[in-house]
Structure 1
Amino acid sequence: MNHTRPHLLSLPKILDKRGNLSFFEHPNQLPFKIARTYWIYDVPGGEARGSHAFKEQQEFIVALSGSFDIVLNDGENEFKFSLNRSYEGLYIPKMYWRSLENFSTNSLALIVSDRSFDADDYVRDFEQFKTLKNG
């Protein structure tokens, strides 16, 4: 499992005529123990969330319902991931600028991270992020 680059992770999918079930756990799917869980919902049309990087925090994001795009930047290149399946999520290592956008109606983004909230871990200025990332 690559812990240095963002990548999609397929989650187990247990099919059942009564309803399907998916899950993630450490260390089988996630490369980190979960310290914090939060979710984003009721995002008005055209709004974006995120627009920051973390100095140390790693995250795993799943679209539990609906769809949205995650745009990542490593300081030089931009990558876009579209999430729309509740059995697939995006692993994001530390020091990637991220923006969540293009939310569909009733979308629900679940985010788990390896750290508790720490305002000092956020990098909220893109130019400062590029300087930190590229030296």
Structure 2
Amino acid sequence: MNIKEQYKILEFGEYGDERGNLVVAEGNGKDIPFAIKRVFYMYGSDATVIRGQHANRKTEFVLINVSGTSKVKVDNGYETDVIELNKPRMGLYLPTMLWKDMYDFSADSVLLCLASEHYDGSEYIRDYNEYLKEVRSVAASEEKEQDK
């Protein structure tokens, strides 16, 4: 599958007046395509730091740079793409089984992460070679099923 068909750029409602701006993102399929079970954020990382470096078997994510900018490199085992998160109203939806690296954080970056599952370390794949084996094994099984 083409990697650009796997992730999705989300645009949230933004409202502003003389008091400032407000961005709204609602879960359960309205703006966020899942029920939000966990929220965390990263800050204080400099441009040389690489965060993430894993894939998830069960958890989907939406990443939002609520302040500053960062880049996300996504990898499906066959292709990679880089997405720059540079607007607080922009989100990046990542389905399961995509390898993700977050990097090139601006000094004021705050990267908000919304997750579809509670934390379970056993569903993380942290070794890239293991990830490639698993992804390619699934792809080979799917090809065999289609050939039947």
- Say yes or no: TM over 0.5: yes
1:60 aligns with 2:86: no
- When normalised by structure 2's length, the TM-score is 0.86
Q: Distance in 2 between matches of 1:126 and 1:132?
A: 10
SS at structure 1 position matched to 2:134 = helix
1:102 aligns with 2:104: yes
The match for 2:8 is 7
Q: Distance in 2 between matches of 1:58 and 1:132?
A: 17
Q: Distance in 2 between matches of 1:42 and 1:34?
A: 24
| CA RMSD, Structure 1 to Structure 2 (Å) | 1.0
SS at structure 1 position matched to 2:132 = helix
Moved more, 13-22 or 98-107: 13-22
SS at structure 2 position matched to 1:39 = strand
Identity %: 27
Q: Of Structure 1 and Structure 2, which has the larger fraction of its residues in helix?
A: 2
Deviation at 1:49, TM superposition (A): 0.3
Structure 1 segments of 4+ aligned residues over 4 angstroms from their partners = none
Matched length = 132
Q: In structure 2, list runs of 5 or more residues that go unmatched.
A: 138-148
Amino acid at match of 1:102: D
Deviations 1:63-112 (A, max 9, x none): 00000000000010001000010000100000000000000002100001
Alignment of 1:18-97 (within 5 A): 18-26=19-27, 27-97=29-99
Alignment of 1:118-133 (within 5 A): 118-133=120-135
Deviation at 1:16, TM superposition (A): 1.4
Q: Distance in 2 between matches of 1:17 and 1:134?
A: 53
- When normalised by structure 1's length, the TM-score is 0.95
